[in-house]
Amino acid sequence: MLGDRVRKPAADPIRKVRFREMAREIVAKDRHDRKHGLAVDTAGTIARALERAYREGFADAQREPSVPTTGDAVPGEVMDWALIPPRPRTAFWTICLFVLGKGEPTDGTGHLVPTTTDRGTPGWRLILPGRNFDKMLGERTIAPLVRLGLLELADAGPERLLVSAGGRATWWGFLERGGQYPEDLTLG
């Protein structure tokens, strides 16, 4: 009887991200439809998403066990783009697009310096030397990027954040996969 037991699927951070994205889409659609007086079937949409998740989990449980993944980023390594939380992911995309470029050569000297946002909260300003560019990002948006090792404090000089080696590798990996924001976030 022991051989007949159904295996439980291992935790999969990519699957969890896909489910969170589905949940965000359901909530956003519900809010939009209610705001505009459209008919809503949120319960039906949730039921379909749960059924899809159940089938996927069941299928995963029947496959051979794979090497468990933790989803924790190791500084200096490529991180799966979808594992970056949504708001920080959008900020990271902006930072990388202007600092590293999307195939066209850039000098890569852009950086972030501490500032206070228009709301009076701590934040960071994206500086691109030689360009008239002004983009402020909140501290709570940038902190996860530092924690994940995608941005790092500069070694010398005044306090500033740079795209780390792992951040660069993550950006180039995202571009190799197609780099179409936001369409490439959780496909697969």
Does residue 134 contact residue 142 with C-beta atoms inside 8 Å?
A: no
Burial 79-94 (b: 16+ CB within 10 A, else e): bbbbbbeeebbbbbbe
The pair of structure tokens assigned to 93 is: 């995309």
pLDDT tens by residue, 32-72? 989 999 888 888 888 888 888 888 777 777 776 554 444 44
Contact 126, 95 (CB under 8 A): yes
- Low-confidence residues of the chain, pLDDT below 50? 1, 67-73, 75, 186-188
The answer to whether the beta carbons of residues 49 and 23 sit under 8 Å apart is yes
Query: What residues are paired with 122 via a beta bridge?
Result: 116
Q: In what order do the strands lie in the sheet with 161-163?
A: 135-138, 122-127, 111-116, 161-163, 151-153
Q: What is the pLDDT of residue 70?
A: 42
